Chains A and B, each alone.
Chain A
Amino acid sequence: MTKWGMVIDLNKCTGCGACVNACRIENNIPNVGPEAAHNGRSMDWMQIVTEYDGEYPDIRITHIPLLCFQCDNAPCTKVCPVHATYQNSDGLVGQVYYRCIGCRFCMAACPYSAKKFNYAEPDVPEEYENHLNPDVTRRMKGVVEKCSFCHHRLAHAKDLARYEDRDLRESDFQPACVESCPADAMVFGDLENPDHTVHDLKDSSRVFRLEEELGTEPKVYYLKKEDK
């Protein structure tokens, strides 16, 4: 059984936002416009939270990229009334846009606020139409969506591996955010495969997970920022 997971090194993260933009382009995330974004309806699957520690001029800044943690014990899948959000055979938390009734119970249940709701019909300008990612479903008004760990890429990687008659390699499947990180702060792979970098990284002494005490078993690990 594979267990896809991510390790984010907060020492390396510069908060540049490349991952956020890569995610936006990869996953056809609609631009909601300034007014809706101001009202807290931005659809970004990733966001970077910046924490400030200390007093001027001795400020320590930590950037924390947030995405769906694909919890092993996900609170959102428990409460869905229609099987629209569920844990799939790859261990990822899936979202069925064509079944979701938009009750937003999963959003209320998610302790990480990882889910986004399409308050209006996504507005895609005509000139963007030809540049959308054909592998990613376009969402409609009234459904919940969230980061999928670029699940469509996994499907491709699996096909390729099967075609070449070999096992999946670490380099076969990397989400868009990890691929785009210029600081190499994000590492992705199979947490249970000793050949993958994440396997050893997740046992580092600096490792922590957000709100771990809730028992949600998130699959995104962070490496604590250390003073140099």
Chain B
Amino acid sequence: MDDLRHDPDYTLFRPILEKDRRFLWMVSVLVGLIGWSIYMYMRQWKYGLSVTGLNNNVTWGFYIINFVFFIGVSHAGTLISAILRLSQAEWRRPITRMAEVITAIVLMIGGIHPIIDLGRPDRLMNVFYYGRLQSPLLWDVTAITTYFTASTVYLYVPMIPDIALLRDRTTKFRWLYKFLSWGYRGTERQKHILERAMSILMVLVIPVAVSVHTVISYIFSMTLQSGWHSTIFGPYFVTGAIYSGTATLLVVMIAFRKMYHLENYLKEIHFRYMSILLLVFSLLWTYFTFSEFLTGVYGNEPMEMMVIRFKLTGAYAPYFWSMVTLNFLIPLIVLTNKKLKTIKGILITSIGVIIGMWLERLIIIVPSLTNTRLPLVVQTYIPSLTEWSLFIGGISIFCLMFLIFSKVFPLISIWEIKDGRAEGLEEAKGRLESYLPDQTLAEGRVQ
């Protein structure tokens, strides 16, 4: 297509139009890793959970940790994008799409984890035949399916104008774009309906997102186990979820910026604003962690103290203190220091936060199971090769689906960028003027 090459936003079309050797290479590596993890899962299907490192006391391990972790990461997207859209933050335009894609993909991966964790996956349908709504696990099923539906619709609806654009201006995947664009032509009426749908969705999606991670924390806090039975868990999990999600979004932004040369779209200013968000959530997370541990230590209840001691000075101390370093110290140092707050610095911090938040899930789940109320001999939990493989498989599915998405749909919302150029500037100016005190009235009062 000739005219496309002269489009100012040609860079955004490029990944879809041009062939890329690196893409095939990466896809084949990822498919290999996924194939390996599927093989490992088939082994688990055959031999039961004996292939894991779990035992009769530590009955939840990697699968549940990763479940909580992945669902947490998925909060990046929809929530951040909805909040940015609602607050009409103009710098959101190149970010929202990526955030929404993270949600849709990671939520799917996270949602599979409890099924992997089942001893009898063949009886999964019992959840629907004999389901008990009193069980927090059923709350999870409900919340996650609702959130998945809402967030895929929320990803899809703002994508319709872009799909229509691709249908009209490119030749690749014509049938797909034709089907997905639902006859969108960009008329005044259509645009109005689209914007209306988007604003309804973004308001709707926020309470759903908050409820999902709250309900996940309920799996733990509804039991009587020391270290789990805590009222702070709902908001604590939500905060941690958004925190890890923001970090993931930053990593994804930096990776694709490098890969598809999006420097002109994802500018330093975007990273600076996003990193403020990251810092805010780092401090919020630290505040929650501090409150949780201080109340435990001050109360000095023996069972609670046993778990806390195990985390602070016992076998899990290395994990605990590296979590504090990665989630609190490093973000605080890097993100408040102008010299360190470069894109490289933000990337390192974000990767650290992702690891730190994974460790947090580990530290929440395993120590409470290891320290039983009755004085039993409990074996330490050492994850097996199967569990590691399925973890790597989950990450590979994330990368693969993201890569494929980037080859079919634009990763940055083209129409919103164009809109920003055409209307956003005027709109923002008008909005700013409306915030300021009225000129004539102010003058009148002086006289």
Taking beta carbons and an 8 Å cutoff, which residues of A are in contact with B?
36, 38-42, 47, 49, 51, 66, 75, 78-84, 99-105, 107-109, 111-113, 115-121, 141-144, 210-211, 214, 216
**Is B378 in the interface zone, CB < 8 Å from A?**
yes
CA distance A78 to B374 in the complex (A): 21
A residues near B134, Cβ cutoff 8 Å: 78
A residues near B132, Cβ cutoff 8 Å: 80-83
A81 and B135 contact, Cβ closer than 8 Å, known pairs A101-B120, A113-B57, A113-B374: yes
Contact A51 B120 (CB under 8 A): no
| Chain B contact patch, size range | 35 or more
CA distance A214 to B120 in the complex (A): 31
Cβ proximity bits B177-199 to A, threshold 8 Å, 1 near / 0 not: 00000000000000000000000
A117 and B49 contact, Cβ closer than 8 Å, known pairs A81-B138, A99-B126: yes
Contact B119 A108 (CB under 8 A): no
CA distance A116 to B54 in the complex (A): 12
Contact A108 B60 (CB under 8 A): yes
| Interface of chain A, main secondary structure | loop
**Is B131 in the interface zone, CB < 8 Å from A?**
yes
User: 6 tightest CB-CB pairs across the interface, nearest first?
Assistant: A102-B119, A142-B119, A40-B55, A40-B379, A120-B50, A81-B137
* Chain B, Cβ-Cβ closest to A78: B134
**Is B369 in the interface zone, CB < 8 Å from A?**
yes
Contact B223 A103 (CB under 8 A): no
CA distance A80 to B130 in the complex (A): 10
Contact A117 B59 (CB under 8 A): yes
A residues near B49, Cβ cutoff 8 Å: 102, 117, 119, 142
Contact B126 A82 (CB under 8 A): yes
**Is B375 in the interface zone, CB < 8 Å from A?**
yes
* Chain B, Cβ-Cβ closest to A100: B120
A141 and B55 contact, Cβ closer than 8 Å, known pairs A81-B127, A118-B48, A211-B373: no
Contact A49 B219 (CB under 8 A): no
**Is B441 in the interface zone, CB < 8 Å from A?**
no
Contact A107 B56 (CB under 8 A): yes
Out of A66, A108, A120, A142, name the residue touching B223 (CB < 8 Å): A108
Closest chain B CB from A34 CB (angstroms): 13
A113 and B376 contact, Cβ closer than 8 Å, known pairs A81-B127, A118-B48: yes
* Chain A, Cβ-Cβ closest to B55: A40
Cβ proximity bits B42-64 to A, threshold 8 Å, 1 near / 0 not: 00000111101111111110000
**Is B436 in the interface zone, CB < 8 Å from A?**
no
Contact A49 B119 (CB under 8 A): no
Out of A105, A119, A121, A141, name the residue touching B137 (CB < 8 Å): A105
Contact A99 B56 (CB under 8 A): no
Contact A108 B137 (CB under 8 A): no
Instruction: Specify which of B132, B372, B377 lies most central, judged by the most chain A CB atoms within 10 Å of its CB.
Output: B132
**Can you report 23 residue pairs joining A to B where beta carbons are below 8 Å apart?**
A40-B377, A41-B55, A49-B374, A75-B223, A81-B135, A82-B131, A101-B121, A101-B126, A102-B118, A105-B219, A109-B224, A111-B224, A112-B373, A116-B56, A117-B119, A119-B49, A141-B119, A142-B48, A142-B49, A142-B120, A143-B120, A211-B374, A216-B224
Closest chain A CB from B301 CB (angstroms): 10
Closest chain B CB from A208 CB (angstroms): 13
**Is B136 in the interface zone, CB < 8 Å from A?**
yes
B residues near A41, Cβ cutoff 8 Å: 50, 55-56
**Is B342 in the interface zone, CB < 8 Å from A?**
no
* Chain B, Cβ-Cβ closest to A116: B56
* Chain A, Cβ-Cβ closest to B135: A81
**Is B401 in the interface zone, CB < 8 Å from A?**
no
Out of B60, B127, B376, name the residue touching A82 (CB < 8 Å): B127
Contact A49 B376 (CB under 8 A): yes
A residues near B52, Cβ cutoff 8 Å: 119
Given contacts A81-B137, A117-B59, 5 further A-B contacts (CB under 8 A): A41-B50, A49-B376, A79-B223, A101-B126, A210-B374
CA distance A104 to B119 in the complex (A): 8
